[in-house]
Amino acid sequence: MQKRNWMTRELVLIIIVVAFMLFLSVSTNFSSRSGIYSFMLDVSPTIVAAIALAMVIFTGNIDISAGTISGFVAYTAGSLAKSGMPLWIFLPAGMLIGMLLAGLNGFITVKFKVPSIVVTLAMNMVHIGFYATFLPQSGWIENLGTNFTWFGRGRFFELIPYTFVGAIAVAILFMFIMKYTKFGMSLYAVGGNRRSAVYSGINPDRTVMKVFLVEGLLLGISAVMKATTRSEVMPSVFVGRELFFIAAALVGGVSIFGGVGKIVGALFGAMLVYLLSIAMIYLGFQDYYQFAIQGGIILIAVYITVIDVEKMKKTFRRKKRHVITTGEGE
């Protein structure tokens, strides 16, 4: 019952995404070769980061500092690439930095039992202050060579960017992880009902810590994907991007209360959020509408989830009452 219910939500989302694409390609030049290329190029970092955020939200936590963590990753990757390092050095280094910073968020959340949203909000501010104060030239690195940009700019068949293939690969990998591994199951368990997770032998603190580390790793990949499309790196560009990631996960049907959601949802949620943002530009609106629309999307998506949760609770309660009344033997 529950499973079929959620599947429809993802299906609806996919239909909306496809319809939106059709609408854009009829009314604008979205379906041109360059339009599709730039769609795939721009959406791939968001997909990876939305998956990262979705996993954190599965456990009932959230990370507002995801955008600024990406900025740190981009700076690290950029400065390593500036000194001539190849991708297989600066990508793992970036992932490591991501894990370190997200791990710090996780550590404070778990160790001091404070809501992750407040911790990461504060961290967001610490990171922004850190960029401007302690990084040389506020972290601005320019004139990066092809050893940096080949990954972001390369494409298969002159059309499909490497990063898009990477993003899809990450999505498929995490779909499997969420479905078939103990780790994936434990995320839902911790987010759904912490106490029963404890009774079934899961350590919630350790699980939350792990999920933050995984999130950091994915944010590392996402930030490198985003940064390598340009030959300069500026950490402050990433400030505020968490809005897209969170909106994508929530639109994708991930419940803000934890325990419910799918990676596929995050994947198509990222596409929808991105399509909405470029639709504004294609249809000739100003960039200023971005914030208002994303904020509105978050509210609407969460409201739909709340209604769903309430409905589920109600049917559950009715069933229970039914069992009780029949059990009593009227």
Partner 1 sequence: MSAEAKNKKPFQVSHQLALLGVLVGLILLFGIIEPAFFIPRVFFDIFAIAGEIGIMALAMTYVITTGGVDLAVGYNLQMSAIVFGITFVNTGNVVLSIIFALIVATLGGMFNGFIVAKTKIPPLVTTLGTMYLFRGISMIIAGTATYSGFPDGFKQFSTFKFFNAIPIQLVYFVVLFFIMDYFYRKGSLGRNLKGMGFNENAVRFSGVKVDRIKFWIYTLLGLLCGFAAMVYLGRLSAAKTSMGDFMNFQVITAVLLGGTSIMGGVGSVRGTFIATLIIGVLHKGFSLLNFSGNIYNFTIGLILIFSLILYTLTEERRKVKTRSRRDQLESQTAATGDSGSGTG
Q: Which stretches of the chain bind partner 1, using CB under 8 A? A: 64, 108, 112-115, 117-119, 121-126, 128-133, 243, 246, 256-257, 286, 288-296, 298-299, 302-303, 306, 309-310
Q: Which is nearer to partner 1, 311 or 322 (CB)?
A: 311
The minimum distance between CB 57 and partner 1, in angstroms, equals 10
* Nearest to 56, CA basis, from 239, 226, 261, 199: 261
The minimum distance between CB 292 and partner 1, in angstroms, equals 3
The minimum distance between CB 24 and partner 1, in angstroms, equals 22
Q: How far is CA 255 from the centre of its chain?
A: 13
The minimum distance between CB 310 and partner 1, in angstroms, equals 7
The minimum distance between CB 199 and partner 1, in angstroms, equals 23
Q: Which is nearer to partner 1, 121 or 160 (CB)?
A: 121
Task: For residues 162 and 45, give the distance between their C-alpha atoms in angstroms, rounded to a whole number.
Answer: 11
Q: Which is nearer to partner 1, 199 or 288 (CB)?
A: 288
For the beta carbon of residue 329, count every other beta carbon within 10 angstroms: 5
Q: Which is nearer to partner 1, 18 or 118 (CB)?
A: 118
User: Which positions ≥6 away from 160 have C-beta within 8 Å?
Assistant: 40
What sign does the CA torsion over 189, 54, 212, 172 have? positive
Q: Which is nearer to partner 1, 33 or 311 (CB)?
A: 311
Phi and psi angles of residue 160, each rounded to the nearest 5 degrees, phi first: -90, 120
Task: For residues 104 and 65, give the distance between their C-alpha atoms in angstroms, rounded to a whole number.
Answer: 11
